[in-house]
Structure 1
Amino acid sequence: MKRNFPVLLIAFLISFMDQSNAQSIKDSDVDYNFIKLPSAPISKSIKSYQSKIEAPFEAKNKEIIAAYELELQKANDEFELEKAAYPAKLKAAEDRYDKEMEDWKKKSYGEKIYEQNVLKENNKPVKQIPPQPYLRQVEKPKVQTSYDYSALASTYLILSGFEKAETNAVNIIVTMYGFDYTQPRVLSEQKSMTKISNGQSSNYMATYYHVEFSYREPLSVKVILPDGKEILNITPSEFNNYTIYKSSSSESYPQINTEMLIKTNEEKILQANLKNINDLVNEKFGFPKIGRKGLLFYVKSKGGDYVDLMTAFNETSSGLKILVDDEANAKTKINNSIELWKKALLESDPTNKKARIDKDVTIAIYFNLLEAYFALREVGQGFDVIKKLNTLDLSNKERKRKDEFEIAFNDLKKRVQTNL
């Protein structure tokens, strides 16, 4: 048998060289912030804002508290009068008792026996001591919770991209209508349970209890320009819907701290609704800083054939992270990366699996370009890349990501055009 060692050696070396040049595409999450353009921008001459919260129920609160304090004073006055009159009442009772005893003692023994045994009457006087004066209890009324409205507005109503100042300011006014809720109650339900005893299982019905109540916190918001023109007046419909609180269930009957339960949920929904209002206003008129979870691709290769793509990956990663804080430097980094990717795409050969820029690398570069163009608000360039992706045979995952970018660029296109 002939030994073909040279042929085998050559085949091994070729195989080794192919493996040494093999590439694998990796991805990495890149969390960064960007400034979102408003969907309904106001005049660029307006650079400041004012925000405040109004609570019409405070007037009603004052009426209720005033009536309560008046009733408290009335109860206290009654108590003082009764205390002052009590000694005279006590003396009158003592005098009446003494007089009745004196009259009773004047009766003969026979009269007393006759009343007791025949008439079945016991006419011996009993001292009637008047009850001690007491302060009448006045139930404390339920009123809507009051807040430091100025602090709430400063915390939750912030128009991003604008300075908080009075001069030529757009005004954001939120109206609170108060916390509306049903009384918490304990509800029960029957559950089928299984128990095991002596290796045998059996079913039984158990009673479980939970606390439940419904609540809501309606709010409305108005936005008014410095000239008095109202550009927004809305009461979000979802704020009128009741939220149902339901505690975890237990076989033990729960003890309810109604006041604490209501207060906790009231504060929680108020904060959530104010945040939603602020997001709504900023979506229309502000320049909020939005967090985005980006995804960038790079190629890992033993042969060092993709230094250009790794450089672009690193430059874009660092550029995205400083996009808000150092926009000029960030754009320089990202644009340099775009040029590297575009240059690499000149080698693109999707039908050749052995090409340096094969189909998979081409798709990876296109997605990197989409992330870069989105960050730079290059809408036209982004749609050009999407068109090129549409010519390739994408996986389901890639197609879904491409569709997500298309939605993002469509929204960005509207915002860019509106903000020209």
Structure 2
Amino acid sequence: MRRFLPLLGVSLFFIVTANAQSIDAQKIAFDYVRLPLVPVPAGTSSYTPEVLLRYVESVQQQQANHVSAVTEAKAKAEKDKQEYKAQSLKDKAINRLLLDERKPGEAVIPTADYTAQVYDAPTLAATYVSLSGMKRVQSDGDLRVVVSLDGFTQGPITPVQVKGTSLAIGGASTGDGIKHAYEVSYKSPVSVKVTTKDGKVLLDEMIEATNTYTVGKTEAFATEEGLNKFWRNNQGAYMRQLDENAMKTNMKLATDYLDSALGQRSITRNSSIWVVSDKKINYDEFPQAYEKALIGYKLLADPARTPEASLQINEAVALWTKALAESNPKDKKARIDEKVTAATLYNAAEANLWLNNFDETDRLLARLKLLDISRYNILAKELDLLAQDQHKRFNANKKN
């Protein structure tokens, strides 16, 4: 027992020493102004939004075709009645006996196919179309922003069978056995075009995601007749809801696309600055760098204060760079060991991103990935995506 106690004391000493080092993620949130992907002419400050419904004539033609079909059906029914009426009783009897020809009934009115909703274009423009950092004007804006809708397009309607109790359709469990539903495919393509006052086209594209078919599913019924009855009574309302949902979703996609391409939106960045501390070892540069970086990041919200932000961030980078000069990942006793190196690399990589030092950010992230620490691999991947996007936007706006 006398030998055991000293050993226990030594073990406790090493445990305390090993746990003395603390690497804490100080969560931060700050705003920055995201640059556009498509640079606009210098002095551009306003835009005029417009929505074009390019499918209106098609809808009108579809409706006119149905009216003609109804008129023809009624005319044929009336003609059949007159011809039947003009027959003698003898002819009527013979035709009924030999041809099973009976007295004509009322006209069979053809069912109208669903026609895309014609929305109010000015309302859509006012509700959805916007560009961050620019003023909306009713006419003669520096930019003309046109969003064109090609209307709701219905694809195949496919009967499907649903089996099992685990699948829910229409908010209700399908229960045991087979149930019947329809899958309805549809799309509602949207395009965007942006031009300057002098007619220069800055952007002219179809929003690709809006030009692919989406599949909706009706609620399921125990019998095919139950499904058919539902469809006869509710097809129009069901299709109208799909139409409205597609319009809202795709208009938002178009607006987000336009804003990413041409707007100057304020984005909130949620991140962390890693701070190292130890009861035995001096890590004073880490809280100092944290304070400087945080001040700099907070200043990014105001582009006019970019020089002040860069000054603070550069001072933080200098402290982290000096620490990295001591990096020795293979030595667990080193002041800047593997884990401290990883935390410092991440801090410095993000800071260089906001200084537009993208090559340095890439280099630091590459070093971080080589350490292959799970926690930092995830962070590095997310930061790498942001850095690529920022680099692309920075290059696009160099001339401006």
TM-score where L is the length of structure 1: 0.65
**How far apart, CA to CA, are the structure 2 residues paired with 1:261 and 1:67?**
23
Q: Which residue of 2 aligns with 1:171?
A: 144
Q: Which residue of 1 aligns with 2:371?
A: 393
- Give the secondary-structure state (helix, strand or coil) at the position aligned to 2:22: strand
Bigger mean CA deviation after superposition, 392-401 or 368-377: 392-401
Structure 1 segment 211-222 matched on structure 2, within 5 A: 211-222=182-193
- Give the secondary-structure state (helix, strand or coil) at the position aligned to 1:296: strand
Code of the aligned partner of 1:297: W
Shift of 1:46: 2.2
Bigger mean CA deviation after superposition, 144-153 or 60-69: 60-69
- Give the secondary-structure state (helix, strand or coil) at the position aligned to 1:227: coil
Unmatched segments (≥5 aa) in structure 1: 73-136, 194-203
**How far apart, CA to CA, are the structure 1 residues paired with 2:394 and 2:35?**
7
Give CA deviations for 1:101-144 in whole Å, capped at 9, x if unaligned.
Answer: xxxxxxxxxxxxxxxxxxxxxxxxxxxxxxxxxxxx99989543
Q: 1:414–1:206: structure 2 CA closer, same or farther, 3 Å change rule?
A: closer
Bigger mean CA deviation after superposition, 307-316 or 325-334: 325-334
- Give the secondary-structure state (helix, strand or coil) at the position aligned to 1:231: strand
Shift of 1:361: 0.6
Shift of 1:397: 5.3
Q: 1:264–1:292: structure 2 CA closer, same or farther, 3 Å change rule?
A: farther
Code of the aligned partner of 1:234: E
Give CA deviations for 1:5-43 in whole Å, capped at 9, x if unaligned.
Answer: 9977995795477257x2132335545443332233122
**How far apart, CA to CA, are the structure 2 residues paired with 1:359 and 1:220?**
51
Give CA deviations for 1:357-405 in whole Å, capped at 9, x if unaligned.
Answer: 2221122011011122223433244244346547x53335545644554
Say what the alpha-carbon RMSD is for the aligned residues: 4.4
Residues 1:235 and 2:206 are matched in the alignment: yes
- Give the secondary-structure state (helix, strand or coil) at the position aligned to 2:371: coil
- The match for 1:373 among 340, 352, 368 is 352
Residues 1:310 and 2:287 are matched in the alignment: yes
Shift of 1:277: 1.9
**How far apart, CA to CA, are the structure 1 residues paired with 2:6 and 2:34?**
63
**How far apart, CA to CA, are the structure 1 residues paired with 2:16 and 2:151?**
74
In the alignment, is the contact (CA less than 8 A) between 2:116 and 2:243 conserved in 1?
Answer: no
Residues 1:265 and 2:242 are matched in the alignment: yes
Q: Which residue of 1 aligns with 2:197?
A: 226
In the alignment, is the contact (CA less than 8 A) between 2:191 and 2:207 conserved in 1?
Answer: yes
In the alignment, is the contact (CA less than 8 A) between 2:183 and 2:215 conserved in 1?
Answer: yes
Structure 1 segment 269-308 matched on structure 2, within 5 A: 269-302=246-279, 305-308=282-285
In the alignment, is the contact (CA less than 8 A) between 2:368 and 2:376 conserved in 1?
Answer: no
Shift of 1:338: 2.9
In the alignment, is the contact (CA less than 8 A) between 2:38 and 2:202 conserved in 1?
Answer: no
Q: Which residue of 1 aligns with 2:332?
A: 353
Residues 1:144 and 2:144 are matched in the alignment: no
Code of the aligned partner of 1:414: K
Q: 1:323–1:205: structure 2 CA closer, same or farther, 3 Å change rule?
A: same
In the alignment, is the contact (CA less than 8 A) between 1:315 and 1:334 conserved in 2?
Answer: yes
Q: 1:17–1:163: structure 2 CA closer, same or farther, 3 Å change rule?
A: same
- Give the secondary-structure state (helix, strand or coil) at the position aligned to 1:144: coil
In the alignment, is the contact (CA less than 8 A) between 2:181 and 2:221 conserved in 1?
Answer: yes
Q: Which residue of 1 aligns with 2:94?
A: none
Q: Which residue of 2 aligns with 1:91?
A: none
Q: 1:162–1:250: structure 2 CA closer, same or farther, 3 Å change rule?
A: same
- The match for 1:337 among 311, 316, 330 is 316
Give CA deviations for 1:244-296 in whole Å, capped at 9, x if unaligned.
Answer: 10246464745453333222222221122122222333333332334544343
Q: 1:25–1:67: structure 2 CA closer, same or farther, 3 Å change rule?
A: same
Q: 1:248–1:340: structure 2 CA closer, same or farther, 3 Å change rule?
A: farther
**How far apart, CA to CA, are the structure 2 residues paired with 1:192 and 1:8?**
62
Q: Which residue of 1 aligns with 2:56?
A: 58
Bigger mean CA deviation after superposition, 26-35 or 158-167: 26-35
Q: Which residue of 2 aligns with 1:86?
A: none
Q: 1:277–1:58: structure 2 CA closer, same or farther, 3 Å change rule?
A: same
Q: Which residue of 1 aligns with 2:154?
A: 181
- Give the secondary-structure state (helix, strand or coil) at the position aligned to 2:36: coil
Code of the aligned partner of 1:236: I
TM-score where L is the length of structure 2: 0.68
**How far apart, CA to CA, are the structure 1 residues paired with 2:277 and 2:237?**
57
Q: 1:407–1:10: structure 2 CA closer, same or farther, 3 Å change rule?
A: closer
Bigger mean CA deviation after superposition, 173-182 or 29-38: 29-38
Percent identity, aligned pairs only, is: 27
Structure 1 segment 16-95 matched on structure 2, within 5 A: 18=17, 22-27=20-25, 29-59=27-57
Q: 1:155–1:371: structure 2 CA closer, same or farther, 3 Å change rule?
A: farther
Bigger mean CA deviation after superposition, 342-351 or 237-246: 342-351
- Give the secondary-structure state (helix, strand or coil) at the position aligned to 1:298: strand
In the alignment, is the contact (CA less than 8 A) between 1:41 and 1:286 conserved in 2?
Answer: no
Q: 1:270–1:311: structure 2 CA closer, same or farther, 3 Å change rule?
A: farther
Shift of 1:191: 5.4
Q: 1:71–1:239: structure 2 CA closer, same or farther, 3 Å change rule?
A: closer
Structure 1 segment 183-202 matched on structure 2, within 5 A: 187-189=160-162
Code of the aligned partner of 2:148: T
Bigger mean CA deviation after superposition, 33-42 or 224-233: 33-42
Shift of 1:341: 2.5
Code of the aligned partner of 1:47: S
**How far apart, CA to CA, are the structure 1 residues paired with 2:37 and 2:293?**
27
Code of the aligned partner of 1:221: V
Bigger mean CA deviation after superposition, 398-407 or 210-219: 398-407
In the alignment, is the contact (CA less than 8 A) between 1:295 and 1:371 conserved in 2?
Answer: no
